[in-house]
Structure 1
Amino acid sequence: MILLKSLPHRACLFALALLWITPAVAEYPGRGPIDAYLAQRTATVESRCLTEPLTADQWNAQRPELELQLRDMLGLNPWPERTDLKPTIVDRMEYDGYAVERIHFQSRPGLYVSANLYLPSAGEGPFPTILYVCGHARVKEDGVSYGNKVGYHHHGVWFARHGYVCMMIDTIQLGEIEGIHHGTYSKGMWWWASRGYTPAGVEAWNSMRALDYLETRPEVDAKRFGVTGRSGGGSYSWWTAALDQRIKAAVPVAGITDMRNHVVDGCIEGHCDCMFMVNRFGWDFATVAAMIAPRALLFANSHRDRIFPLDGVIRTYQKTTKVYEALGALDKVAVHITEGPHKDTQALRVGAFAWFEKHLKNSTDEIEEVARKVHEPQQLQVYVDGIPADQRVTDVQEWFVPQPATAKLPTEKAAWGDLQADWMSQLSDIPGATTNLEGFDLQTVKEVNRQVVAGVVFQTLEIESTSPLKSYVIAAVPQTGKPIDGVTVSVGSPDQENLQFIVDGKTIQYNVEKDQFAALDAVAKQIAGKSEAVLFLMLQGDGKTRWMENVKETTHLRRRLHLVGQSIDGMGVSEIRGLLALIADRAEGLPAAETVRIEASGSAACMAILASLGNPDVSLALHQLPADLADGPILLGLSKATDVTRLLALAAAEHALTIDSSESESAQKVLSAAKPLGWKISAE
């Protein structure tokens, strides 16, 4: 979560002044259509989220599948192994009415979690126990991070002084060991989405393992677990309570709103990656909240919270109550709204305290004592002798979500069929991988410009879709007086300020700013006299559909697409696939041809493979294949399901295929397997 002091008038539009200096932003013609498309997709997501009446039987029947989907979107399917926690109590300190233990444990080997455990000094246990998950409070002095648990320690003190055990755990972003939450937010780590990784999954797992540890403590009543936290901690409270039935009462504070606030109103710009699942099943957030039913749940929020606006919170609450009502548990869900901005206030805290008193202690007594900060950061530091040398927190994104095993290609045809079917099945749940993205199908072609250069007709073609988006193709058709024999679809790839196309292995540059080929005469000369037309396809977000010149704005548009369950590269695959379908249907406005070839480079080469699967009449010429899908294309969950070798093998089994194999390990593997399997593949 990024905390703000002020924001522009539009709800949640985050200026990011703390991170990036924002220059004057040029808006391109593609911005309006992508905004309209995102609003359309948001409406579709909303229409599928708890809009119909349901019964308890209906909810109970679908909940197991929903839990699997949520685990998958958090990178927790399959569950990680519950390895030895190796808990270490660094020391114990006694204070007035409570004690604090400084603790660390490992939720997975090397995934250290630093924590403070607050224990009552009086009363007989076992006690009801609160897991407090912390928001983004930076507590750092002289280069030493003391962890966000320090910033919220007054909560732990209050709970312990009032008869609760309370464990407060650091996050991986602002803990004593400083990991990363900002992968797609500001660091360009788009491969997180392809890998199916989100720090939300790590925080949920750390929370669940904290409960595992707490169950071993004699002071803890494991039948009376509660979870709370605010801001980022509010978000982790949702994930944890949704996935772990041990939680009996939850108070997520300022940690949820709905898709409309995030995508249409722009709140996503104020949130880092820990707030979101990799949403390939297209959920709205009320579904996450409903997973807690019928257990005790209090929505807590301030009325002027700019990054969790009240209208979205109330919409989420209202949808969630439908499930509670179906389960006969309306008395277990409530909303607590206080005056104020996005801030940790006494009014919010008192509501949370009262909720736990009621549902974990069966008490409705007035809350008389407020929570106050009393400790210095050094008193609560866990790693007093330095960060553990074997920690794997700072690179958790590299290994937390399991990836496919190294592909082994068969040496006999008989073994290929089942393997091919399995690999295709793995792709079927990836949005855009094997079918067009929902709501985005190319339809009709219209010529918007024409010029003739050196015997070649250049037509700018605008292709309408089922959405507000349009696609653009420049058709280059040689004037030979004879019908053309074939069509090459050259897929554009970004190259700094230009688009790069490849035709017959030669690079062609298109200047995006000037909206023209860098050397039009040379392009015409290359194509003139050929018996084939070339269709230069500009993918969404590039060329004529370019959104913004500003990296920040473009970044958050891509993140919006991810949140509605899609991706810019998934759109590109759909565009290639859609153009192939229009060519096959001999759509008016496109050159008619008997043969079709796709030529593409880099990540666009893998996009071309995906678009052509199931269309064996298309041939492929692929250049500079990526070494790893971390280099693209980025489709939600793609590299969790497949890799470059698998994609190339699937293509070789269907298509006549030419590849540039000079530096590609995947290409070498597929070339070696091609002859015994009868694949038509050659290397340049």
Structure 2
Amino acid sequence: MLLNSLPHRACLFALTLLWIAPAVAEYPGRGPIDAYLAQRTATVESRCLTEPLTGEQWNAQRPELERQLRDMLGLNPWPERTDLKPTIVDRTEYDGYAVERIHFQSRPGLYVSANLYLPSAGEGPFPTILYVCGHARVKEDGVSYGNKVGYHHHGVWFARHGYVCMMIDTIQLGEIEGIHHGTYSKGMWWWASRGYTPAGVEAWNSMRALDYLETRPEVDAKRFGVTGRSGGGSYSWWTAAIDQRIKAVVPVAGITDMRNHVVDGCIEGHCDCMFMVNRFGWDFATVAAMIAPRALLFANSHRDRIFPLDGVIRTYQKTTKVYEALGALDNVAVHITEGPHKDTQALRVGAFAWFEKHLKNSTDEMEEVARKVHEPQQLQVYVDGIPADQRVTDVQEWFVPAATAAALPTDNAAWAKRQAESLQRIDDVPGAVRNVEGFALQSVNETKRQVVGTVAFRHLEIDSNSPLKSFAITAVPQTDKPIEALKVCIGSPDEQGIRFTIDGEAVQYSTADDELVGLEAVAKTVASENQAVVFLMLQGDGKSRWMETEKETTHLRRRLHLLGQSLDGIRVSEIRSLLELLAESAKGLPVAKSVEIEASGKEACMVMLASLTNADVSLTLRQLPENLADGPILLGLSKAIDLTDLLALAAAGHPLTLDTSDNEAVRQVRAVAEPLGWPLARE
């Protein structure tokens, strides 16, 4: 077994990219949210390849695992394999090899620029390496030459040693510059809700590169290998896991485990291309195990701060269980070299030796190292400019389509079928139909009481089955009469704190003062209508606020995504749990004959989801968004359902009052409410 390891700075992009976080944050301890993340990490770890298994058991479960992984990469169903439209720009002969400058379209307009390195001597067809590139920026005078230029010396080595090697650009840092930074720094949280990750695009481009290589007479398609470092190491994992054509794999610095990413903070050094939309809650050893029993070499250096050695070894050790079950332990090894996250000769020699052994059945000594010999201009593909019909720069908008609803039916039988289908589509969206795992409210504690007029205001701390707590304020008339109605108001964060709406009137909560502003007015409203009110502060806002800065909060939210959850999924679970506690007349919460829940904006969409399993509430919803793109963000939600169907589910199951918002979803639901007998009112 080769012994070497290197954690990898996949998407840190070193000095080249924007808004780079420290490679591994010190993570000083942020109380409940840190404890929750550690708890969820332990749960994910406990399910990852921890039980003994046989080869038969692994082979039986692998098809479902592949379906899940494809889904989490945005590749389920498979995109259509459209015409690649390959174009060879030119071919140039060098000493011992030739280089072709090529582009093809993995989907219409999704251009992939590549350099194809071909041996000048020897008899083909040759073993063939797909080289997927890490984040090396090569840009001069505003012209991007692609990250393939930064790694070209590896392609030269392969060609000089009897391999065909195709080196492809990525969508970020390629000749056509797309983005990998949606949630990392651009606030594009809708990527997770859509089920989009650039990791899926990179895997698809790699698979289509193999499709092209299969057409070349120089290529032995039965001897495909894939390698790359940093981001390219990651794409090696994705591609080999879902494409059985690949026979040997050397991901260099492209993987570590959930503990490194979440608890140790390595996620802060990685952009979105490093991760699947992990709604099935995998740890990364499962990805690695998908390659078994094919030849796999983990390659890492010992001081890589983004892919620390301990996590790489843990991942390797779990992966070997599957190789052992399949009787293929000789096909997996780990190669550890001295050094930081860097493309070193020592790492590359180990990779070369692995391919020599498994694609050429050779164990000869390596006599030549890879050296850079080309200028960027020699390898540029789009010498006449970027194609006008390219769709690389907006691939995130269309690669994984959002759900769209057909017109709502007007007869009850058709609606019942549509309703069942909608619920089924969101059944495995974490938090959509049932609480996210590990979070449910349980008991109520009063922390502060204040009486204004005839109304008592109580500050509540609500414990959950996790380290996270929820906070609410109740307003209850002090009267001998039974409370007629209970209103639950869901707040929306703003610059001052949290803004609630009660009967259409705004009520402000000040985070600084931990108090509702204008208690007298609230008390007057509550007393005059003999109703109790619960003002619920959603997780991450108000007293449960996690961090002060947007950047810190961003990476906490990304940690949740990596664990198969989301902040908004927890918030939906929070609302659902509160409704369950109210239905149980939990001690510390007011009791009334009827319950109404009131919310605006994306929080109104959270209410719709939270009430799907609770029919004994009425809903008042205001200022509905145009669609689900901006929230709530639940992993895969807007891929599975659109706002029209979600609003229809709410209208069919509850007395529903809408304000005068006029968008397509509201128009459709209003049009069918009467023929379907839905109790829909307008303010």
TM-score normalised by structure 1 residue count: 0.96
Equivalent residue, structure 1, for 2:217? 218
1:255-283 deviations in whole A, cap 9, x for unaligned?
00000000000000000000000000000
1:91-119 deviations in whole A, cap 9, x for unaligned?
11111110000000000000000000000
Q: How far, CA to CA, are the matches of 2:357 and 2:553 in structure 1?
A: 47
1:189-241 deviations in whole A, cap 9, x for unaligned?
00000000000000000000000000000000000000000000000000000
Query: How far 1:510 sits from its partner (Å)?
Result: 1.3
Equivalent residue, structure 2, for 1:10? none
Q: How far, CA to CA, are the matches of 1:453 and 1:313 in structure 2?
A: 59
Query: How far 1:403 sits from its partner (Å)?
Result: 2.5
Query: How far 1:492 sits from its partner (Å)?
Result: 1.0
Equivalent position SS for 2:69: helix
Task: Describe how 1:261-272 pairs up with structure 2 within 5 A.
Answer: 261-272=260-271
Does 2:414 correspond to 1:415?
A: yes
Q: How far, CA to CA, are the matches of 1:661 and 1:149 in structure 2?
A: 54
Q: How far, CA to CA, are the matches of 1:632 and 1:454 in structure 2?
A: 39
Residue type of the alignment partner of 1:78: P
Task: Describe how 1:567-586 pairs up with structure 2 within 5 A.
Answer: 567-586=566-585
1:592-614 deviations in whole A, cap 9, x for unaligned?
11211110010110100111112
Query: How far 1:565 sits from its partner (Å)?
Result: 0.3
Equivalent residue, structure 2, for 1:184? 183
Q: How far, CA to CA, are the matches of 1:349 and 1:169 in structure 2?
A: 18
Residue type of the alignment partner of 2:415: W
1:649-672 deviations in whole A, cap 9, x for unaligned?
001111000012333221111001
Q: How far, CA to CA, are the matches of 1:122 and 1:348 in structure 2?
A: 27
Q: How far, CA to CA, are the matches of 2:19 and 2:274 in structure 1?
A: 18
Deviates more, 1:510-519 or 1:442-451: 510-519
Query: How far 1:483 sits from its partner (Å)?
Result: 2.1
Task: Describe how 1:446-465 pairs up with structure 2 within 5 A.
Answer: 446-465=445-464
Q: How far, CA to CA, are the matches of 2:410 and 2:553 in structure 1?
A: 45
Equivalent residue, structure 2, for 1:12? none
Task: Describe how 1:227-626 pairs up with structure 2 within 5 A.
Answer: 227-626=226-625
Equivalent residue, structure 2, for 1:13? none
Query: Residue 463 of structure 1 contacts residue 471 of structure 1 at CA under 8 Å; is this kept in 2?
Result: yes
Equivalent residue, structure 2, for 1:151? 150
Q: How far, CA to CA, are the matches of 1:392 and 1:198 in structure 2?
A: 16
Query: How far 1:429 sits from its partner (Å)?
Result: 0.6
Equivalent residue, structure 1, for 2:3? none
Equivalent residue, structure 1, for 2:633? 634
Q: How far, CA to CA, are the matches of 2:517 and 2:147 in structure 1?
A: 52
Query: Residue 296 of structure 2 contacts residue 332 of structure 2 at CA under 8 Å; is this kept in 1?
Result: yes
Residue type of the alignment partner of 1:614: T
Q: How far, CA to CA, are the matches of 1:612 and 1:19 in structure 2?
A: 39
Q: How far, CA to CA, are the matches of 1:431 and 1:521 in structure 2?
A: 40
Q: How far, CA to CA, are the matches of 1:513 and 1:173 in structure 2?
A: 42
Query: Residue 622 of structure 2 contacts residue 661 of structure 2 at CA under 8 Å; is this kept in 1?
Result: no
Query: CA 1:669 to 1:269, structure 2 compared with 1: closer, same or farther past 3 Å?
Result: same
1:325-377 deviations in whole A, cap 9, x for unaligned?
00000000000000000000000000000000000000000011010111111
Query: Residue 478 of structure 1 contacts residue 529 of structure 1 at CA under 8 Å; is this kept in 2?
Result: no
Equivalent residue, structure 1, for 2:19? 19
Query: Residue 645 of structure 1 contacts residue 666 of structure 1 at CA under 8 Å; is this kept in 2?
Result: yes
Q: How far, CA to CA, are the matches of 2:508 and 2:30 in structure 1?
A: 23
Residue type of the alignment partner of 2:334: V
Residue type of the alignment partner of 1:377: P
Q: How far, CA to CA, are the matches of 1:90 and 1:4 in structure 2?
A: 29
Query: How far 1:17 sits from its partner (Å)?
Result: 10
Query: Residue 427 of structure 1 contacts residue 434 of structure 1 at CA under 8 Å; is this kept in 2?
Result: yes
Query: Residue 31 of structure 1 contacts residue 546 of structure 1 at CA under 8 Å; is this kept in 2?
Result: no
Residue type of the alignment partner of 1:19: W
Q: How far, CA to CA, are the matches of 1:4 and 1:248 in structure 2?
A: 29
Q: How far, CA to CA, are the matches of 1:151 and 1:249 in structure 2?
A: 23
Query: How far 1:18 sits from its partner (Å)?
Result: 5.5
Query: Residue 480 of structure 1 contacts residue 529 of structure 1 at CA under 8 Å; is this kept in 2?
Result: no
Q: Flag as ranges the 4+ runs of structure 1 deviating above 6 A.
A: none
Q: How far, CA to CA, are the matches of 2:401 and 2:248 in structure 1?
A: 32
Query: CA 1:332 to 1:174, structure 2 compared with 1: closer, same or farther past 3 Å?
Result: same
Query: Residue 290 of structure 1 contacts residue 323 of structure 1 at CA under 8 Å; is this kept in 2?
Result: yes
Q: How far, CA to CA, are the matches of 2:59 and 2:470 in structure 1?
A: 43
Does 2:200 correspond to 1:201?
A: yes
1:629-678 deviations in whole A, cap 9, x for unaligned?
11200000000110111011001111000012333221111001100000
Query: Residue 624 of structure 2 contacts residue 661 of structure 2 at CA under 8 Å; is this kept in 1?
Result: no
Residue type of the alignment partner of 2:360: K
Q: How far, CA to CA, are the matches of 1:453 and 1:207 in structure 2?
A: 66
Query: CA 1:532 to 1:577, structure 2 compared with 1: closer, same or farther past 3 Å?
Result: same
Q: How far, CA to CA, are the matches of 1:213 and 1:21 in structure 2?
A: 38
TM-score normalised by structure 2 residue count: 0.96
1:302-330 deviations in whole A, cap 9, x for unaligned?
00000000000000000000000000000
Task: Describe how 1:46-65 pairs up with structure 2 within 5 A.
Answer: 46-65=45-64
Query: How far 1:127 sits from its partner (Å)?
Result: 0.3
Query: How far 1:21 sits from its partner (Å)?
Result: 9.3
Query: Residue 407 of structure 1 contacts residue 646 of structure 1 at CA under 8 Å; is this kept in 2?
Result: no
Query: CA 1:277 to 1:31, structure 2 compared with 1: closer, same or farther past 3 Å?
Result: same
Task: Describe how 1:37-76 pairs up with structure 2 within 5 A.
Answer: 37-76=36-75
1:469-503 deviations in whole A, cap 9, x for unaligned?
11111001122442211211101111234211111
Q: How far, CA to CA, are the matches of 1:310 and 1:251 in structure 2?
A: 17
Residue type of the alignment partner of 1:486: A
Equivalent position SS for 1:473: strand
1:142-200 deviations in whole A, cap 9, x for unaligned?
11111000001010000001000000000001100000100000000000000000000
Equivalent residue, structure 2, for 1:86? 85
Q: How far, CA to CA, are the matches of 2:224 and 2:660 in structure 1?
A: 57
Equivalent position SS for 2:529: coil
Equivalent residue, structure 2, for 1:9? none
Unaligned runs of at least 5 residues, structure 1? 7-15
Query: Residue 407 of structure 1 contacts residue 645 of structure 1 at CA under 8 Å; is this kept in 2?
Result: no
Q: How far, CA to CA, are the matches of 2:123 and 2:630 in structure 1?
A: 57
Does 2:106 correspond to 1:107?
A: yes
Deviates more, 1:95-104 or 1:474-483: 474-483
Deviates more, 1:528-537 or 1:277-286: 528-537
Deviates more, 1:534-543 or 1:662-671: 662-671
Number of aligned residues: 671
Q: How far, CA to CA, are the matches of 1:612 and 1:150 in structure 2?
A: 54
Query: CA 1:383 to 1:575, structure 2 compared with 1: closer, same or farther past 3 Å?
Result: same
Q: How far, CA to CA, are the matches of 1:388 and 1:483 in structure 2?
A: 71
Equivalent position SS for 1:397: helix
Q: How far, CA to CA, are the matches of 2:542 and 2:453 in structure 1?
A: 24
Query: How far 1:405 sits from its partner (Å)?
Result: 2.9
Q: How far, CA to CA, are the matches of 2:98 and 2:595 in structure 1?
A: 74
Q: How far, CA to CA, are the matches of 2:355 and 2:521 in structure 1?
A: 74
1:50-72 deviations in whole A, cap 9, x for unaligned?
00100000000000000000000
Aligned alpha-carbon RMSD (Å):
1.6
Query: Residue 577 of structure 1 contacts residue 611 of structure 1 at CA under 8 Å; is this kept in 2?
Result: yes
